Amino acid sequence: MKTAVCVKQVVTREWPLRPNDSKTWIRDQDATYEMNEPDAYALEEALRLKEKHGGEVIVVSAGPARVQQVLREALARGADRAIHVEGDALAYADAFAVAEALRAAIAPEGVDLVLTGLQSDDQGFAQVGVVLAEKLGMPHATIIMEVEAGAGSLRVKRELEGQFFQWVRMPTPAVLTIQSGINTLRYATLKGIMAAKKKEIKRLDPPAGARSRQRIVNLYLPEKSKQTRMIPGAPAEAAKELVRVLREEARVF
């Protein structure tokens, strides 16, 4: 089974988020980056499928030169080779431009399966996988909690709302977006890091004509931040007030 895994590089979760002067993106000078966590689950799933069924895992990322870091990391964790579609604008691009870049890298490979995380920790579009499927002419399914791979077909478990799930069958090649928590991530090992040094990262230019259709015109902090609200008063009143806020404000029942 030949699997492509699309990973994105995002700023680390501890990076202090502040809008830049033009309020079109965050201040990311000197930022530290990491692999988008949902994509890490997709990679893990691909590695597990390979361990079970054999084959090859190709990790693909679209972005500036710095995304080689996450490609290296993926190789260290067990991916066989990497493709880097290099372009500075891809760091802020919309799902269409990113999907087009990924399509250009994946289409010639003739893969059986394309996996990616459900969404990214930065833009959070939750679109790239689906758009990519359309561009590759492959069927897709999203928010996947389990993958059963057969010969030429897949059976996957989708998460639905209200704690419902659904199994869906489809032919391969197909695109799946993976829900975080589908598996337990493996940690990076020295053995893997050493093996990764010998693996290949292929570099591609982004395809012409892929441009974003959306742009951020204002970036800002949400109004409220989380703080503990202590409810004062005698026990009976406090209890009553608590039930009211839970019902009307928090809307938990």
Partner 1 sequence: MILVITEQKDGQINRASWEPIVAAQKLGQPVKVAVPGADTASVAAELAGAQVAEVVRLEAPELASYTADAYTTALAALVAAEAPDFVFIPHTYQARDYAPKLAARLDRAIVTDCVAVKPYEGGFAFARPVFQAKLYADVVLEGPAPHLVTFQAGSQKIDDLARGAAPAPVRVVAAQTGAVRQQPEAPFREARQAVDLTQAERIVSVGRGIKAPENIDLARQLAEALQAELAASRPICDAGWLPMERQVGSSGQTVAPRLYLALGISGAIQHVVGMKGARTIVAINKDAEAPIFEVADYGIAGDLFDVVPAMIAALKE
Partner 2 sequence: MSAIEIAVFWVVFLGFVGWFVLQMRTRRRLVMAGADNFSIDDVPARVRRFVSEVVFQSRVIRAKPWVGFAHLFVFWGFCAFALYTSVQFLRGLGIADLSGTRWFGWYQAALTPFCVAVLAGIIFLLIRRGIVRPRALGDHVSKESILIGFFIAALMITYLLEYLHFGRQAGPGLGERVNWWIHMLLILSFLGLIPDSKHLHLVISPVTVFLRSLRLQTVPNLDFEKEELGFETVKDLPRKVRLDAFTCVECGRCQENCPAFATGKLLNPKKLVLQNEEALLAGALDRKLVEIYDENVLWQCTTCGACEQACPVGVEHTPLIVGARRGLTSNGLAAEYLTGTFNHLERRGNIWGLLYDQRQKFVQGAELEIFDASRHEYLVWLGCAGAFEADFQKSLRALFDILRARGVTFGVLARERCTGDVAKRTGNELLFQELAQQNIAEFTEAKATKIVTSCPHCLKTIGHDYQNFGFHAEVVHSATLVERLTRGMSMPGADTVTYHDPCYLGRYADTHEEPRELLGRFGARVAEPVRTRDNPFCCGAGGGLLFEEHESGKRISQERFEQLQATGARTVVMACPFCSIMLKGAQASANADLEMTDLMSYVDARMKAASHATPPAGPASAS
Q: Residue 84 binds which one of partner 1, partner 2, none, with CB within 5 to 8 A depending on kind?
A: none
What Cα–Cα distance (Å) separates residue 71 from each residue in 68, 77, 199?
A: 5, 10, 10
Nearer to partner 2, 44 or 100 (CB): 44
Token output for 242: 């608590």
Q: Would you say 41 or 96 has its CB closer to partner 2? A: 41
143 binds, among partner 2, partner 1, none (CB under 5 to 8 A by kind): partner 1
How many residues comprise the chain?
253
Site string (205-244) toward partner 1, x via CB under 8 A = -------xxxxxxxxxxx---x-xxxx---xx-xxx-xxx
Q: Establish if 92 lies at the interface with partner 1 (CB under 8 A).
A: no
Task: Tell me how far apart the alpha carbons of residues 32 and 197 are, in angstroms, rounded to a whole number.
Answer: 22
Nearer to partner 1, 203 or 244 (CB): 244
Residues that bind partner 2 (CB under 8 A): 12-14, 34, 37, 40, 184-194
When CB distances are held under 5 to 8 angstroms depending on the partner's kind, the choice from partner 2, partner 1, none that residue 184 binds is partner 2
The first and second tokens of residue 247, run together, are 């019902």
Closest contact distance (angstroms) between CB of 203 and partner 2 is 25
Residue 107 in contact with partner 1, rule: CB under 8 A:
no
Q: Which two tokens stand for residue 3?
A: 């699997």
> CB of residue 12 vs partner 1: minimum separation in angstroms?
11
Q: Coil, strand, or helix at residue 46?
A: helix
- 79-62-73 Cα angle (round to 5): 35
Q: Are 64 and 90 in contact (CB under 8 A)?
A: yes
The Cβ of residue 205 has, within 10 Å, a number of other Cβ atoms equal to: 10
Tokens 């399914």 locate to 141
- Least distance CB 132 / partner 2 (angstroms): 25
Q: Would you say 153 or 189 has its CB closer to partner 1?
A: 153
Task: Measure the CA–CA gap between 65 and 87, rounded to whole angstroms.
Answer: 8
Supply the minimum distance, in Å, between the C-beta of residue 27 and partner 1. 11
In this complex, which beta carbon is closest to partner 1, that of residue 126 or of residue 193? Answer: 126
* C-alpha neighbours within 13 Å on the C-beta side of residue 40: 19
Site size for partner 1 (CB under 8 A): 67
Q: Does 173 sit behind a cis peptide bond, omega within 30 degrees of 0 on the bond before it?
A: yes
Distance (Å) of CA 21 to CA 15, 131, 168, 214, 216: 17, 32, 46, 19, 13
Applying CB under 8 A, which residues contact partner 1? 13, 17, 19, 26, 94-96, 99, 121-127, 130-131, 133-135, 139-143, 158-161, 163-171, 212-222, 226, 228-231, 235-236, 238-240, 242-246, 250, 252-253
